[in-house]
């Protein structure tokens, strides 16, 4: 018996299309992160980027359960004293809904250069249109609705 090791030539990347309308943000991000990592493939290897490309459309219609839309706050810091900025998710969803989905997925990927490479395969769009028709993405079936 020999241990199989994945080579760069063995990796084939496909394109997936996810409609985020009505899907809770955490469930969407977990599923997208799993595909970006390649955990849905039998050749998954922790130290290689074997994942697929994911297109997320209708990011402005993603669901936040409970009172998160009013109470959840997005923080960022400029690096200077007193440079802490906070934006409620209600404002962020109105202005940049793509950032909400990207931030949720980024939090579920590795925090190293491999995770940054995986994040480059994520394409998020607020509306139903995207410029990746030529790649012929397959629709990813997801259970919609926040119960």
CATH of the domain at 56: 3.90.1180.10
User: Tens digit of pLDDT for each residue in 65-113?
Assistant: 999 999 999 999 999 999 999 999 999 999 999 999 999 999 999 999 9
Looking at the domain assignment, is residue 8 inside a domain? no
Most distant CA pair in the chain: distance in Å? 60
pLDDT exceeds 80 at position 51 = yes
- The tokens describing 11, both together, are 């990796």
Q: Residue 144: its pLDDT value, please?
A: 60
d(CA 143, CA 16) in angstroms, rounded, equals 15
pLDDT band at 1 (very low <50, low <70, confident <90, very high): confident
Single pTM value for the model: 0.90
pLDDT band at 134 (very low <50, low <70, confident <90, very high): very high
Looking at the domain assignment, is residue 6 inside a domain? no
Looking at the domain assignment, is residue 2 inside a domain? no
Query: Virtual CA dihedral for 143, 15, 138, 62, nearest 10 degrees?
Result: 30
Residue with tokens 């900025």: 85
| Domain total in the chain | 1
Contact 105, 120 (CB under 8 A): no
Looking at the domain assignment, is residue 70 inside a domain? no
Interval 115-142 mean pLDDT: 94
At 91 the three-state DSSP class reads helix
Give how far Cα 16 sits from Cα of 69, 73, 93, Å: 27, 30, 23
Q: Residue 146: its pLDDT value, please?
A: 53
pLDDT exceeds 70 at position 143 = no
Range of the domain at 130: 13-63+90-139
DSSP classification of residue 89: H
Looking at the domain assignment, is residue 75 inside a domain? no
């Amino acid at each position: 018996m020999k241990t199989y090791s994945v080579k760069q030539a063995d990796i084939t990347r496909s394109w997936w299309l996810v409609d985020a309308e009505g899907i809770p943000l955490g469930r969407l991000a977990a599923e997208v992160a799993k595909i970006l990592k390649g955990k849905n493939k039998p050749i998954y290897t922790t130290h290689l980027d074997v994942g697929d490309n994911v297109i997320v459309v209708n990011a402005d219609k993603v669901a936040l359960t409970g009172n998160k839309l009013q109470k959840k706050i997005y923080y960022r810091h400029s690096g200077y004293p007193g440079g802490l900025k906070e934006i409620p998710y209600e404002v962020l969803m109105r202005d940049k809904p793509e950032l909400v989905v990207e931030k949720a997925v980024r939090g579920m990927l590795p925090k190293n250069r491999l995770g940054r490479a995986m994040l480059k395969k994520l394409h998020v769009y607020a509306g139903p249109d995207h410029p990746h028709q030529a790649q012929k993405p397959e629709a990813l079936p997801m259970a919609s609705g926040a119960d």
